[in-house]
Amino acid sequence: MTHDMLRIKLHSLVIFRDLLKNPVLEKLDILLKAPTDDIFALSSAYGAFAAELFRHTTNWSQFLLDAVLEDENIYVQSLCRTHLTDPAMEECLSKELSFLQQLSLLSPEMIELSDRPALWYTQSIDFEKTYRQRLQELPKRGYGIFARYHVFTVHNGELVPVRHPDPQSLDELSGYEEERGKVIANTQALLAGKPASNVLLYGDAGTGKSSTVKAIANAFASDGLRLIEVKKAQLYQIPDIVERLSYNPLKFILFIDDLSFSSNDNDFSALKAILEGSVSSRGKNLAIYATSNRRHLIKESFADRDGDEIHLADTMQELLSLSARFGLTVTFSRPDKTLYAHIVENLAVLYDIELPLDVLMTKAEAFALRAGGRSPRTAKQFIEQLKAQAADQ
C-alpha cells in the first residue's frame, strides 16, 4: 500500500478517529505526506517520527497496538453503556483494526531513504483478536485514561491522572488489622458488584486513615479499582463526575481526605445530598471514602449552641447526624503502649533494623514523647530515622 493510500485510510478512521490526535501518529502523518523526491523533507519527517516514537518505545507495532487498546472510542463507550453493538459499527471496527494492523507493519525499509539507519522495528500482531480479548477484560483493565492510571485528582471539573501516586502498600501498615479489614471487605463487595457502603474513617491524626485508603487503591488496582481524590471545595462537582462514570465498567472510590465543616459551610449540603444515595448522586460502581479527625465532622462551637435560631435543636441535630449517613464508620484511635510496640516491631522487621527489642522500644518511646504522642505515623518516622542513621554510618 502506497504512502498516499495509508494516509487516506488513516484520515478515514471513524471509531479510532482520536488516534489522529496522538503525537506519534501526527508525526507519522507528516512522514506519509512528505514528497519522496524531496530528500530533505523526507529525512526531517523520518527523524521527527522516530524521535517522537522513541519517547515511548522503538517497537512501532506494539506502540500502535497499545494506543488502540487504550483508546476511549465511540465503540467501547456504546458497548459499556448498552451492552449492545450495531452491525454497521461492528463491521467498521473490524475494517479499521485490519487497517491499523497493516499500518503497524510500516518499517523503516518502506520509507525511501536507503542511506538512513533503521530506527524502529515492527512485529506481526493480530489486532482484532487482541482487541476482542481486551474488551472481555474491561471490568478490570478499563479503557482510555483509566487503562493507564489508577489514581486521579479533579481540576476544573476534569479528571487528571496522578502519574506518580503514593506507593503505600497494605504490607507496610501494622496494627489496626480489624479496622482495615472492614474497609477491605467493603471494597471487595464494591468490586464484586455487591452493595457497598460509603465509608467514614475517623480518629486521631497519624493513625493511618489516609494510608489505608491509598494502600487499598494500590492493592486492588489490577482488580478494576480506581481512586479519585476530591477536595472539600470540589464536592459540588461530584454529581457530574458520577454521571460520567456511571457506565464505566470499572469501580471507583471517591476519596475525601481530612473532611470537616463549619456550621454554615455551603459544602455541607452538597455532601449530604451525595450521601443520601439518590439516583442522580451516586452510581452502583462507586463509593465515597472520607477521613476525618472529627467524629461528627462539624466544627461546633458554644456560640452555635447558644444561637438565636428558633429551631436550633433541629439544626444542630442535622449537623451532627451527617456522619451517620455513612453506611460504615471505622474508628482509628490513638494506639496504647502495646499496639505502638507491635507497630514499631513490625516496621523494624520491614526496614531491616537490627536492635535489641528493649533498646528499640526505649528509643521508640522517647521518640514518641518528643513527637507529641504515640501513633503509627510517629512509629514510621522513628524507624525511618533509624534507617537513615544506619545508612550514614
Same domain, 197 and 317: yes
In a domain, 146, yes or no: no
Which range of 25-29, 32-36, 228-232 scores highest in mean pLDDT? It is: 25-29
With a cut of 90, say whether residue 272 has pLDDT above it: no
pLDDT above 70 covers a percentage of the chain that reads 87
Give the residue from 332, 348, 373 where a domain finishes. Answer: 332
The answer to whether residues 124 and 211 belong to one domain is no
Looking at residue 85, what is its pLDDT?
83
Among 288, 313, 332, identify where a domain stops: 332
Residue at a domain's end among 332, 352, 379: 332
Alpha-carbon distance values, 22 to 3, 48, 352 (Å): 19, 14, 46
**Residue 144 pLDDT greater than 50, yes or no:** yes
218 and 302 part of one domain: yes
Position 271 confidence tier, pLDDT thresholds 50, 70, 90? confident
Give yes or no: residues 327 and 342 share one domain. no
Residues in the chain: 393
Residues 128, 98, single domain; the answer is yes
Query: Is 142 among the domain residues?
Result: no
Q: Is residue 144 part of a domain?
A: no
pLDDT exceeds 70 at position 319:
no
Split into its structural domains, the chain has a count of 3
Residue 315 has pLDDT above 60, yes or no: no
CATH code at position 289: 3.40.50.300
Please report which confidence band the pLDDT of residue 236 belongs to, taking 50, 70 and 90 as the band edges: confident
Residue 30 domain-assigned (yes or no): yes
Same domain, 267 and 183: yes
Query: Are 189 and 115 members of one domain?
Result: no
Q: pLDDT tens across 56-66, in order? A: 999 999 999 99
Q: Are 123 and 61 in contact (CB under 8 A)?
A: yes
CA distances from 357 to 279, 348, 386, 391 (A): 55, 10, 14, 20
At residue 49 the predicted structure's pLDDT band, cuts being 50, 70 and 90, is very high
User: Are residues 130 and 225 located together in one domain of the fold?
Assistant: no
DSSP symbol at 226: E
* Widest Cα–Cα separation across the chain: 89
To 10 degrees, the CA torsion angle through 28, 33, 38, 44? -20
Residues 212-224 have pLDDT tens digits of 999 999 999 999 9
Q: Are residues 58 and 194 in the same domain?
A: no
Is residue 98 included in any domain, yes or no? yes
- Nearest in space to 49 (alpha carbons), one of 115, 126, 114, 111: 111
Mean pLDDT of 135-144: 94
Residue 317's pLDDT is what? 52
Cα–Cα distances (Å) from 381 to 227, 340, 356, in that order, read 26, 13, 19
Question: Are residues 99 and 20 both part of a single domain?
Answer: yes
Judge contact between 128 and 97, C-beta under 8 A.
yes
Whether residue 193 is contained in a domain is answered as: yes
307 and 171 in a common domain: yes
DSSP 155: E
Residue 75 domain flag: yes
3-state helix, strand, coil in the chain (%, to 5): 55, 10, 35
143 in a structural domain: no
Average per-residue pLDDT for the chain: 88
What three-state secondary structure class fits 296?
coil
Query: Cell 481530612 sits at which residue?
Result: 258
Position 282: which residue type?
Answer: R
On whether both 102 and 163 belong to a single domain, the answer is no
Domain span including residue 372: 337-392
DSSP bridge pairs for 291? 201
